[in-house]
Amino acid sequence: MFDGPVLTRVDDREDYGEVRDISLGLLSPDAPLVVVHTARGERTCLISARKANRRERKIYYDSLKRMLKTD
């Protein structure tokens, strides 16, 4: 998932005692995922992963279109 275009933001909905990121990307061309992860030392630790919902898929594909748009 992290090899292609990924949207990532800090998950600041709660104080988790560590910095958590939420990433939206593709596992395969037809499988958008939402992954919550954190850095622990040199490692990225997975907290959760699930299929992106309709709203998240729209956000991802709209952002991808903007990234690829050339004038």
Domain boundaries of the chain, sorted by first residue: 7-68
What is the structure's pLDDT at 1?
A: 78
Instruction: Give the phi and the psi of residue 58 in degrees, each rounded to 5.
Output: -60, -45
Write out the two tokens for 58. 């729209």
Angle at CA 33, nearest 5°, toward 43 and 66? 100
Element (H, E) at 50: strand 43-51
User: What is the model's pLDDT at position 71?
Assistant: 54
- Which residues of the chain fall below pLDDT 50? none
* Closest to 25 measured CA to CA, from 67, 70, 71: 67
Average pLDDT, the chain: 91
